[in-house]
């Protein structure tokens, strides 16, 4: 009986243990990724130098992009809401210095668009997840040659909540869909 109690207690404690990841990037391009399991921390990357890759992405038309965003929001919103109690954004920090360039009008438009995107993302983030510390600083600097940014994000989740969310997703995937049968007029 004692061993059963110890097993149940250890599973309960394991269910409340928080697991997570913390990623940070400095303005010079160096990055750091740390995995966390309870009080144990493992530094995965100490320094990353990314080489610029040529973009070969094909521009999609606005309707297709809008449809993809709607599909993503529709599928991920219930999952995020079920994870709300377990997932926590411990830190969300972004410092962005946008280079002004030769055209001040285009730079101001880009700056306004960046704030508009953040204005759309922030309510969705805070509505669906618990955010402890958030700081986003964006500025427009006409003396810079190119855009400079640094940031940090730290996410944690409890093991018990992640298992519950996985079961919710599996149930939603397996659950038979109701078919609507049209009724005939009398």
pLDDT at 149 over 80: yes
DSSP 8-state code for residue 156: E
pLDDT at 102: 85
Strand 88-99 to 40-45 pairing = unpaired
Q: Which residue has the tokens 């309707």?
A: 63
- What is the per-residue pLDDT across 100-146, written as a single tens digit (0 to 9) for each? 888 889 899 999 999 999 998 898 888 877 889 999 999 999 888 88
pLDDT at 97: 92
- What is the per-residue pLDDT across 61-85, written as a single tens digit (0 to 9) for each? 667 767 776 766 666 666 666 666 6
Q: By mean pLDDT, which of 47-56, 122-131, 140-149, 166-175 is the weakest?
A: 47-56
What string of DSSP letters covers 162-178? HHHHHHHHHHHHHSPPP
45/34 Cα distance (integer angstroms): 7
Handedness of CA 36, 80, 159, 170 (dihedral sign): negative
């Amino acid at each position: 009986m004692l061993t059963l109690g110890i097993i149940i207690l250890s599973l309960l404690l394991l269910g409340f243990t928080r697991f997570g990841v913390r990623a940070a990037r400095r303005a010079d391009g160096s990055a750091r990724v740390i995995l966390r399991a309870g009080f144990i921390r493992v530094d995965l990357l100490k320094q990353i130098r990314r080489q610029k890759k040529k973009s070969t992405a094909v521009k999609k038309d606005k309707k297709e992009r809008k449809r993809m965003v709607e599909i993503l929001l529709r599928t991920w919103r219930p999952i995020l809401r079920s994870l709300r109690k377990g997932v926590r954004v411990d830190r969300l920090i972004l410092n962005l210095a946008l280079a002004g360039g030769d055209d001040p009008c285009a730079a101001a438009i880009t700056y306004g668009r960046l704030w508009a995107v953040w204005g759309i993302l922030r309510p969705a983030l805070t509505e669906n997840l618990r955010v402890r510390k958030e700081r986003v600083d964006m500025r427009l600097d006409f003396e810079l040659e190119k855009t400079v940014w640094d940031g940090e994000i730290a996410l944690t989740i409890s093991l018990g909540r992640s298992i519950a969310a996985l079961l919710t997703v599996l149930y939603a995937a397996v659950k038979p869909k109701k078919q609507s049968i049209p009724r005939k007029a009398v």
